[in-house]
Amino acid sequence: MECHFCNQKREGLPFRCNFCGESFCSDHRLPENHACPRVGGPKQPGHSEVIRYRPNNSERGAVPFVRSGRSRFRFRYTGIFSKVEEKHVVAASLVVALSGVLTNWMIAPSPLVNPSILFFTVAIPAYILSFLGHEISHKFIARRNGMWVEFRTTLYGLLLTAVSSVFLVKFLAPGQIEIHGNGSKETVGGIALVGPSFNIAVGALSILVSGFLGTFFGPLLVEIAWFNAWMATINLIPLGSLDGSRVYKWDKTRWAIALAASIFIVILSYYYFYRN
């Protein structure tokens, strides 16, 4: 195969970019390595337009028409996650959703919310969206700064998240993000901080709204707030490859404020659980 970026013939399977649609070698398969114009745009280092071959009018008659196997009515994926990343996101989402649903039985002697069909219909998407929102927030800020973020599950992260599902204290970090591209400490720290900040915002909003709802949605929103606060708290721990290590290196004050806010929401949630 011939790489669209380096124009060299390499052995092995071609890697097709999910964003620009071109084929690349293993060295240039990532968007930042072939200056993908669909990711980061002119901010991307080494940005260059992807040139596609388009036959002129004299050549059109000689080019055979091949009907695409894709339906024109088929939903087209916008490319938030790469093909490899999709598998990691699905696995992590399932484990996180399991941990969130079991919260209903772990925080009190009896289920805090009646485990009806409505409960599972609302709770499972809410927990999955809490996790996806965390990861998409990382990607959004990274793209605005001409960088690229990939989520990858880790074996110990998945195991700890699954095991903690049956305990009151949750470990909600089934994986880690890999930040690609050249960025300052401030940029990398901001990319890492936005994920926990999303969970803190969801947790605070859920706590505030829960007081105005009934006996079903009120407690359920508190559970969602508790879940998001734990996710933010765990990810803000300044160890290893967690978000907290990058934020702590960038700005200790912002790290401390975010961690204090997440812990405060956890305490508020506990107060609600045991008060009721």
| 239-255 tens-digit pLDDT | 888 899 999 999 999 99
Q: Write the CA distances from 272 to 17, 49, 101, 191, 207, integer angstroms.
A: 48, 55, 18, 32, 10
Predicted local confidence at residue 28, as pLDDT:
76
Q: Which pLDDT band holds residue 10 (cuts at 50, 70, 90)?
A: low
Q: Which pLDDT band holds residue 55 (cuts at 50, 70, 90)?
A: very low
Based on the number of CB atoms within 10 Å of its own CB, is 215 exposed (0-12), middle (13-18) or buried (19 or more)?
exposed
Q: Which pLDDT band holds residue 126 (cuts at 50, 70, 90)?
A: very high
What's the whole-number mean pLDDT along residues 152-180?
A: 86
Q: Which pLDDT band holds residue 276 (cuts at 50, 70, 90)?
A: low
pLDDT at 56 over 60: no
Catalytic residues: 135
Closest by alpha carbon to 266, among 190, 194, 206, 195? Answer: 206
What's the whole-number mean pLDDT along residues 170-184?
A: 84
| 67-116 tens-digit pLDDT | 444 444 343 445 677 788 889 999 999 999 988 888 877 666 667 777 88
Interhelix angle 117-144/217-235, nearest 10 degrees: 40
| 12-22 tens-digit pLDDT | 666 778 777 77
Radius of gyration over every alpha carbon of the chain, rounded to an integer in angstroms: 22
Asked if 194 contacts 138 with a C-beta cutoff of 8 angstroms, the reply is yes
Q: Which pLDDT band holds residue 37 (cuts at 50, 70, 90)?
A: low
Least confident of 85-94, 115-124, 162-171: 162-171
Predicted local confidence at residue 274, as pLDDT:
67
Q: Which pLDDT band holds residue 45 (cuts at 50, 70, 90)?
A: very low
pLDDT at 205 over 90: yes
Predicted local confidence at residue 109, as pLDDT:
61
- pLDDT top residue among 39 and 209: 209
Least confident of 53-57, 166-170, 248-252, 272-276: 53-57
> How many CB atoms neighbour CB 211 within 10 A?
10
Predicted local confidence at residue 179, as pLDDT:
85
Asked if 173 contacts 234 with a C-beta cutoff of 8 angstroms, the reply is yes
Overall fold of domain 1-66: Zf-an1 domain (4.10.1110)
Predicted local confidence at residue 181, as pLDDT:
77
Supply the DSSP string of 211-227, one letter for each residue. TTS-TTHHHHHHHHHHH
Cα angle 88-91-167, degrees, rounded to a multiple of 5: 125
